[in-house]
Amino acid sequence: MPIKIDTIKKYLEERFDGKVEILGVKKLGTFTDTIKKLGYGDTFLVTFRREGKDRSVIFSTMRKDKYGHQYLWDRANVLMFQYDAGQRLPKHAHPLDIGYFNAEGNARSVRDANIYFLLTEKVEGTDYFLDLKRLKTEAITDLDIERARVLGEYLAEIHSEKKDEPELYTRKIRELLGHGECIMGIIDGYPNNYEFFSDNDFCDIEKHCVEWRWKLKQYTHRLCREHGDFHPWNIKFREGTDFSTFDRSRGEYGEAADDVSTLSINYLLYSLLKHGKLDGDYKKLHDIYITTYLEKTKDQEIFKVIQPFYAFRCLVIASPEWYPNHPADIRKKLFNFTRNILATETMNIDEINRYLE
């Protein structure tokens, strides 16, 4: 929905208790220079001046779509979670308010909801996917290596917070399969009888995932704090290794393998696009990231539970809707990975390329 400057001005004056001057409104996330072509909503940067000081904030809204956001409360649930849980994760952009746009386009902090938005602080920096994109044509640097290491350390740190609530772990695995944004929802977003993966193939994937759901019921002791969507579009670096994360998603507590696989699969994706396999500088970054995480956590058990999480992320990055420009051979390798990883009892992280065959 279009942002109305006069209603935004009124809202900001109420929120920050004083007169403001709107300096600019800019829509973000157009995906014009990225291999990713779809998001769940619209984001606007609003710059304003109050009492002589300039400030920037982000308005985030969600659109109605087929990924489990069909109803108003579906979309409200996501933004309410981000507002609440985003305040309790280290290095996460600080949520400033939760509100909505009503039918007339007015922004309110509560009541009469029509479209919800999330207001967060504006964090400076460069999206991490741009680092990975750069490595397609440039050599790896020491800073690239340090950033991969820091990301592994960060996950180890947040995953160190455990929670004894078996039902919450079970829900996490159940939603990994059945949530509109996860395995079954993403599969339902594919065309019928997709040219690279038939309906029967997808049915087999879902059957394997149900088997994994029952396997993972014995791992409820692994419940820990997580980010939930730790991919390169949700990480922004400033100078050196200082960074922030964005868009914490799908639960405050869950399985560590969720975060670990999410970034891992993106190193693999960029490497596939350059080398056709995990190789070269991308492999170096991937291995540093994984090794650092394992050194900090001593979590070898993760390779007994990570399989359905890798499958989920493969289904996302193989999707012709989310990533429409992949060559056919890349999609085929990603589907091979999905099928093979689900058939593996204990993953060998050193043999990722074998799962592509």
Look at residues 77, 106, 121 and tell me which one is the last residue of a structural domain. Answer: 121
Q: Are residues 239 and 135 in the same domain?
A: yes
Select from 72, 101, 121 the last residue of a domain: 121
305 shares a domain with 230: yes
Q: Total domain count for the chain?
A: 2
- Measured between alpha carbons, how far is 334 from 91 in angstroms, rounded to an integer? 32
Say if residue 116 is in the same domain as residue 197.
Answer: no
Residues 181 and 134: their CA atoms lie apart, in Å, by 29
64 vs 310, more confident: 310
Least confident of 112-116, 182-186, 237-241: 112-116
Q: CATH no. for residue 210?
A: 3.90.1200.10
Non-local CB neighbours of 252 within 8 Å, separated by 6+ positions: 81, 85, 88, 225, 226, 228
CB atoms within 10 A of CB 208: 18
**pLDDT tens digits, 64-90:** 888 878 888 889 989 999 999 999 999
Do residues 109 and 265 touch, judged by C-beta distance below 8 A? no
pLDDT tens for residues 38-72? 778 889 999 999 999 999 999 999 988 888 788 88
Residue owning tokens 């090794």: 291
Together in a domain, 321 and 202: yes
Q: How far apart are CA 181 and CA 187, in angstroms?
A: 10
Co-location of 136 and 114 in the same domain: no
Closest CA to 20 of 5, 10, 34: 10
In which residue are the tokens 């993106």 written?
266
Q: Which residues pair with 243 in a beta bridge?
A: 237
Q: What is the pLDDT of residue 65?
A: 86
Q: Both 213 and 331 in a single domain?
A: yes
Cβ atoms of 101 and 115 closer than 8 Å = yes
Query: DSSP state, 258?
Result: H
Same domain for 169 and 73?
A: no
Residue 70: CATH number of its domain: 3.30.200
What's the pLDDT band for 169 if we cut at 50, 70, 90?
A: very high
pLDDT in tens, 125-161: 999 999 999 999 999 999 999 999 999 999 999 999 9
Please state which of the ranges 22-36, 159-173, 205-219, 286-300 shows the lowest mean pLDDT. Answer: 22-36
Domain that holds residue 149: 126-356
- Same domain? For 166 and 93 the reply is no
Both 142 and 46 in one domain: the answer is no
Q: Are 22 and 48 in contact (CB under 8 A)?
A: yes
Provide long-range contacts, Cβ within 8 A and 24+ apart, for 54-58. Answer: 54/23, 56/122, 57/12, 57/96, 57/119, 57/120, 57/121, 57/122, 58/28, 58/93, 58/118, 58/119, 58/120, 58/121, 58/122
Within this chain, do residues 90 and 176 fall inside the same structural domain, yes or no? Answer: no
Q: Which of 95, 121, 147 is the last residue of a domain?
A: 121
Residues 114 and 97 in one domain: yes
Distance CA 300, CA 43 (A): 39
Does one domain contain both 97 and 209? no
Confidence of residue 111 (pLDDT cuts 50, 70, 90): low
In this prediction the pTM is 0.84
